[in-house]
Structure 1
């Protein structure tokens, strides 16, 4: 996977700044704006998969797709929440019985949550790939398929994950401008993520998703 090509992908559209900014403005709408931005990832994936360099139009039509992306990752979020509650309850009970043992349980719980969060982060690109390319609505619950994607395409997946990491850094860079900049950097991150998923699929299937046509 060419990380540079993924970073530059959103800029191939001559109207990319306007579209990215509009999606960012829509993000100011509570909940709906976040779902819309998630759905924009899928729209960008579909465009790049078609070989089209033009970014999807900036509007509020992506909320439905964003909702289903949320559903796709919900099982992973649920596992982390359950672990947090479980260790919190265990730590509280053990602290009442034996304070020292309660502290140990709390420490182990913290390590388990860190490990689970890292695993969820590493699996997120595979989850979105399953949801977009394979149509798995509950992709986050398909643990076997997630592991198969990672293990059978390890080198490609590591590059895929690295690209996602870079996209995340770019998305968070807007915090430098008192957070306002994230209205631009986060939608840009979404467009990058969509392109990365399309390129990963192209590498797995030998398709032509990265052979994008130039923007007119």
Structure 2
């Protein structure tokens, strides 16, 4: 079963963990350069998949950048689905509402009418977000972008460790909510959130890497 305490403490087992987290947090602030931080997280996942969990050194920045860029592209392709669902549904829904002038002069009612649309999009986003870590793990393991879209294998691997996988996913979701709350602190919240986000990214990458190593296709 997933050991949440062990997962959270994972980065701190490295003697230089604080320095490595600070470097990652700083890189995460800079647009485009932040792909290097994403590549580092992928390297953490790769180490876990190879059953050698450790925070790697900050080196080979070019390789980290490429890996981070690939992860971004994979994630973007996956998120296209909920985006298309939102845009298409919004267009149809919006046209039908305005064609009958149903909510003219009542903006609050119009907003309320679109709540189901937001809910539908959110459901799709959660489903995609649930699948995505295993898809990225397949890329991390194989270094083959195409493997990230082998949906049969992705679903089989998730099913083989389903209990632990869903616990890990909910755990990361909760941490994401906490990060959002931290970011709302005036003036310094967003800065703190960037470093905490990178820390959680390392935790998540190691956690899902270990689950991939346990899973079966």
User: Would you say same fold, with TM above 0.5?
Assistant: yes
Further displaced range: 42-51 or 167-176: 167-176
Quick one: structure 1 residues 87 and 24, their matched pair in 2 at CA, closer, same or farther if it must change by over 3 Å?
same
Aligned residues: 204
Q: How does 1:34-113 map to 2 (within 5 A)?
A: 35-52=35-52, 54-58=54-58, 60-61=61-62, 62-100=64-102, 106-113=114-121
Alignment partners' CA distance in 2, 1:109 and 1:159: 27
Change (3 A) 1:165 1:85: closer
**Which residue does the alignment assign to 2:199?**
188
Determine the C-alpha separation between the residues in 2 that align with 1:147 and 1:202: 15
Deviation at 1:140, TM superposition (A): 5.7
Following the alignment from structure 1 to structure 2, what is the Cα–Cα distance between the partners of residues 64 and 151?
30
CA distance in 2, matches of 1:19, 1:122: 27
Quote the residue 2:30 is aligned against.
29
Cα deviation for residue 166 of structure 1 reads 5.0
1:109–1:142 distance in 2 versus 1, CA, 3 Å = farther
CA distance in structure 1 between the aligned counterparts of 2:33 and 2:211, rounded to whole angstroms: 28
- Kept in 2, the 8 Å contact 1:40–1:190? The answer is no
Worse-superposed segment, 157-166 or 195-204? 157-166
**Distance in 2, Cα, partners of 1:110 & 1:170:** 22
Which residue is 2:189 aligned to? 178
Deviations 1:16-48 (Å, cap 9, x if unpaired)?
A: 001100111112211321x22211111112233
Instruction: Give unpaired runs (5+ residues) of structure 1.
Output: 206-216
Give CA-to-partner distance per residue, 1:164-203, whole Å, 9 cap, x none: 3355356556524421112321221121122112221232
2:211 equivalent among 200, 203, 206: 200
CA distance in structure 2 between the partners assigned to 1:54 and 1:141 by the alignment: 27
Gaps of 5+ in 2: 104-109
TM-score by length of 2: 0.78
Contact 1:174-1:184 within 8 A present in 2 as well: no
User: Match of 1:119?
Assistant: 127
- Structure 1 counterpart SS, 2:18: helix
